[in-house]
Amino acid sequence: MYIKDLFDKKTVFSFEVFPPKKTSSIDVIYSTLDELQGLSPDFISVTFGAGGSGNSRYALEIASRIKEGGITPMLHLPCINFTKAEIDAALEDAQQRGIENILALRGDINPDIPPVEDFRHASDLITYIKSKGSFDIAGACYPECHPDAENLVEDIINLRKKVDAGADHLITQLFFDNDHFYEFREKAAIAGINVPIEAGIMPVVNKNQIERMVTTCGASLPGKFVRIMTKYEHSPEALRDAGIAYAVNQIVDLVASGVDGIHLYTMNNPYVARKISEAVSGIIGA
């Protein structure tokens, strides 16, 4: 099933998982997948390392397993460190496994790995995949601007290139202040971007995540969020519950504001995904 066909019918609710480390067996994720599949999301996407992580081969196997469990999978595919032949191999493998949905990405540029020049931007990859004709293609977008772009206007002009190349729908980077999403959505509409945009929501439920957020993702942390995290950072259970409640609040507001979909960064944590799914099931379906 093509994910693009869902947006006309409903507010899409999807999950994201990542493959286990290359030192772990792939089996460690299977019980997580079983639990996530039981929550009946519209699709589950699987991340794919842009290069160097060594666990990329797991991504296709996990996507196959999701399909076998009766849920539509989406394979992330970053291009910056892959040759055209490697991308062809991944797409052929996906096709043979019946995986029809691809999130086409550039990937982060790793200073230790010189980029392969076959595809420089996600838009190049999207054009290429589109020419093959048989995939639903999603792209990534950044309500608070991608860190490489000078400003949000430049980033949205570049996003338009992705959509013009054939992206059928978009998924945002995580954000903690819905107003950033609303401003971005309005600017994207002014730029003529009229494909569905799913909001990426990350429930922050442990202290390590907070530290990673601050240093790597570039999302701004609103005062309300910082107050909650500071108050509960030394109490794991309270922090988990507060993180879940914060994500639920974001989702309720987004759905009330007509968001096309919610993409939950599950961090492979079925407990958190279940609590959030239960809390919003009536709202998403309303």
Exactly one of 122, 199, 273, 280 binds ligand FAD (CB under 6 A); that residue is: 122
Smallest distance, ligand FAD to C-beta of residue 120, A: 7
* Residue 161 binds ligand FAD, judged by CB under 6 A: yes
Nearest distance, CB of residue 47 and ligand FAD, angstroms = 3
Give the nearest distance from C-beta 255 to ligand FAD in angstroms. 19
- From 3, 50, 152, 193, residue interacting with ligand FAD (rule: CB under 6 A): 50
CA trace torsion 195, 182, 107, 62 (10° rounding): -70
Using CA atoms, how far apart are residues 273 and 264, in angstroms rounded to an integer?
8
Select 200 or 243, whichever has its Cβ closest to ligand FAD. 200
Q: Is the dihedral of CA 191, 13, 264, 34 positive or negative?
A: negative
Report how far residue 172's alpha carbon sits from residue 174's, in angstroms, rounded to the nearest whole number. Answer: 6
CA separation, residue 257 to residues 11, 117, 182, 286 (Å): 11, 41, 9, 13
Choice between 163 and 242, CB closer to ligand FAD: 163
Burial class (CB in 10 A: 0-12, 13-18, 19+), 108: middle
In the complex, what is the shortest distance from the CB of residue 131 to ligand FAD, in angstroms, rounded to a whole number?
16
Task: Enumerate the active-site residues.
Answer: 16
**Residue from 57, 121, 130, 160 binding ligand FAD (CB under 6 A):** 121
Q: Does residue 108 touch ligand FAD according to CB under 6 A?
A: yes
Q: Which is nearer to ligand FAD, 106 or 180 (CB)?
A: 106
Cα 230 to Cα 84, 160, 175, 179, 209, distances in angstroms: 46, 38, 18, 22, 13
In angstroms, the Cα distances linking 168 to 111, 157, 253, 271 are: 31, 17, 25, 31
> Least CB distance from residue 69 to ligand FAD, whole Å?
20
Interface stretch with ligand FAD, choices 7-15, 44-52, 88-96, 228-236 (CB under 6 A): 44-52
| Residue 275 touches ligand FAD, criterion: CB under 6 A | no
Q: Does 270 bind ligand FAD (CB under 6 A)?
A: no
Among 13, 15, 48, 58, binds ligand FAD (CB under 6 A): 48
The secondary structure of 125-143 as a DSSP string is: HHHHHHHH---EEEEEE-T
Residues 6 or more apart whose CB falls under 8 angstroms from that of 158 comprise 121, 123, 146, 149
The stretches of 97-235 forming alpha helices (DSSP H) are 122-132, 152-165, 178-190, 207-212, 223-232
Nearer to ligand FAD, 78 or 166 (CB): 78
d(CA 169, CA 84): 23
| Distance of alpha carbon 64 from the chain centroid | 18
Closest to ligand FAD by CB, 75 or 280: 75
Identify the residue among 26, 149, 191, 252 touching ligand FAD (CB under 6 A): 149
User: How many residues sit close enough to ligand FAD to count as binding (CB under 6 A)?
Assistant: 25
Question: Which chain residues interact with ligand FAD by CB under 6 A?
Answer: 47-50, 76, 78, 103, 105-108, 121-123, 140, 146, 148-149, 155, 158, 161-162, 171, 173, 200
